[in-house]
Chain A
Amino acid sequence: MSDSLHIDWTKCDGRGLCTELLPALLARDDWGYPVPRRSRSGNRTDVPVSAGSLEAARDAVQLCPKLALSLVHERNNKRA
């Protein structure tokens, strides 16, 4: 029952507001785009969010200027 922060790479413009809000979760790559510090089996698009980071993750979702972030509940977070 954990949550993930989903990054829509097609929307993100890499100016890095989220990496400032969530330094424990996200680093920045060479070009400014967020790099998850942890991942589940190589998936670096749905970033695991611990309970302690949930509030900050909600802020990041609200504040991302490109609406590139969303919180996904693990149960729905499957793909074909």
Chain B
Amino acid sequence: MTPPNTSLAEALRPQAPVGTYRLFAAGAHAGLQDHLEAFGPLDIEAIGPDFIRVLEASGLTGRGGASFASWRKMAVTAESRSAGILPARPVVIANGAEGEPLSFKDRTLLANAPHLVIDGLLVANRAVAGSQMYLYAASGSLDEAAPAIAERPAARRIRLVQAPEAFIAGEASAAVNAIATGAARPLDKRRRLAESGLKGRPTLVLNVETLAHIGLIARYGADWFRSAGSPADPGTRLVTVSGPGPAQVQEVAGNAALGVILRDAGIDARSLSAVLVGGYHGRWVRPLDYRISPAGPDGQTVRPGAGVIHALPADQCGLAATARILSYLAGESAQQCGPCMFGLPAMAGVLNRIASGEPNPRLTGELNRLGKLVSGRGACHHPDGTVQLVSSALDIFADDVKAHLTGRCLRQGGRAA
């Protein structure tokens, strides 16, 4: 396993990035040369199924929204390969579809560090002995990544598939469906994609940021990955920070403090009414002592979801903001599942009536009833994510709700919009 000239290779190998500045360490719009100078070569052929153990040791979780343990997905895919009567070689999909309007970290990554994503895709494909590779992303991102793919013989087998600009287009089964049929609608999940996905093959769908981390873990190992972040939330993650001032992408340590992220983005946490963490399927929190991590005590930790951090200035009404988001989400239902297709517009209608100051105390009860009715009923997480957002709004903006139900708004000069 160990080549005889290890010491020489090690001496020539560039230093692993130190600290939390990792994914963009090769610079803006890094070409293959910049990429190799910053990170050194990667022997893809040397990767085999044993890489899954390395990934397990790293503790990497998916950076697309669900924060699922990446090695576990890979292990199930690799196992499913030989589980059937006829062994089917797996398919690996790099998912760069970023339907979330407040997020552009995946787009930024594909534009600036396409070779890290390609490395990760090649590594994942080797680890599960895959046969087909896809990059699924919006057309702008494909245009950015295509020259990088063309530069590398090993990557030329990666097929590019355009994702529509729709909220739900990045859902894993929607990605599979888009590649199979051209329609980016989620599929019913009687079986896991890792067991039966694209054309019935075991299918591994990994977010492009997740793959970029895999590209670095394959070079520098699990301990290096864990040198940033916390034991329960190792490594770094990209977040898109928006609100007052220009939106930006930051690479932050796992379990980072929300207050520090806001401060580094130039946002004064005291000037805010609340912060939306995780995106439109996320939660509103007050900018107190929260940490951004997939796991941890409630009230101290908030899940990163799609890596969105959106600050709402104190003079803006959180109910009106949530009502606008809910109307958008209702319109983004893929119109397949009744509870989602009818339930979300009904919820949006009620929340808009509250936000507009209709003095009707029964509205919040109705909103809660509808939320309970739609949750857990749909082919994808869209109803549940939406309900989570709304219930966090009713909780965080409870005083605003009270005021609105008497026809007043606590922000924007006292009148409900």
Contact = CB atoms under 8 A, between A and B. Distances in A.
A64 interface: no
B370 to A, nearest CB: 8
A32 B342 CA distance: 11
Interface residues of B, number: 28
B189 to A, nearest CB: 5
Contact of B346 (A30, A33, A70): A30
Interface string B180-196: 00000111111111100
Contacts of A74: none
A20 to B, nearest CB: 17
Interface in A1-27: 6-14
Given A30-B342, A33-B339, A80-B76, A10 B187 contact: yes
A33 B331 CA distance: 20
Given A9-B336, A31-B338, A31-B342, A79 B377 contact: no
Chain A contact surface mostly: loop
B376 interface: yes
Contacts of B339: 9, 29, 31, 33
Contact of A6 (B76, B190, B343): B190
B294 interface: no
Chain B contact surface mostly: loop
A9 B378 contact: yes
Nearest to B186: A10
B379 interface: yes
Contact of B379 (A9, A44, A70, A80): A9
Interface residues of A, number: 26
Nearest to B384: A42
Contact of B192 (A7, A13, A32, A79): A79
B16 interface: no
Interface in B361-401: 373, 375-379
Interface in B183-218: 185-194
Contacts of B194: 80
Contact of B376 (A8, A42, A79): A42
Contacts of B376: 39, 42-45
Given A33-B339, A44-B375, A8 B68 contact: no
A36 B150 CA distance: 51
B375 A42 contact: yes
A11 B188 contact: yes
Contact of A80 (B190, B192, B373): B192
B73 interface: yes
B350 interface: no
Contacts of A76: 191
Contacts of B76: 80
A30 B371 CA distance: 13
A72 interface: yes
Contact of B188 (A10, A31, A78): A10
Contacts of A61: none
A56 B303 CA distance: 41
30 contacts: A7-B377, A8-B190, A9-B188, A9-B337, A9-B339, A9-B379, A10-B188, A10-B337, A12-B338, A13-B338, A14-B338, A29-B343, A29-B373, A30-B373, A31-B338, A31-B339, A31-B342, A31-B343, A32-B338, A35-B373, A35-B377, A39-B376, A42-B376, A43-B376, A45-B189, A45-B378, A72-B190, A79-B192, A80-B73, A80-B192
Interface of A: 6-14, 29-33, 35, 39, 42-45, 70, 72, 76, 78-80
Given A9-B377, A31-B338, A32-B338, 17 more contacts: A8-B190, A9-B378, A10-B337, A29-B338, A29-B373, A31-B342, A33-B339, A33-B377, A35-B377, A44-B375, A44-B376, A45-B377, A45-B378, A70-B190, A79-B191, A80-B68, A80-B194
Top 5 closest pairs, chain A to chain B, by CB? A9-B337, A44-B376, A33-B338, A8-B188, A10-B336
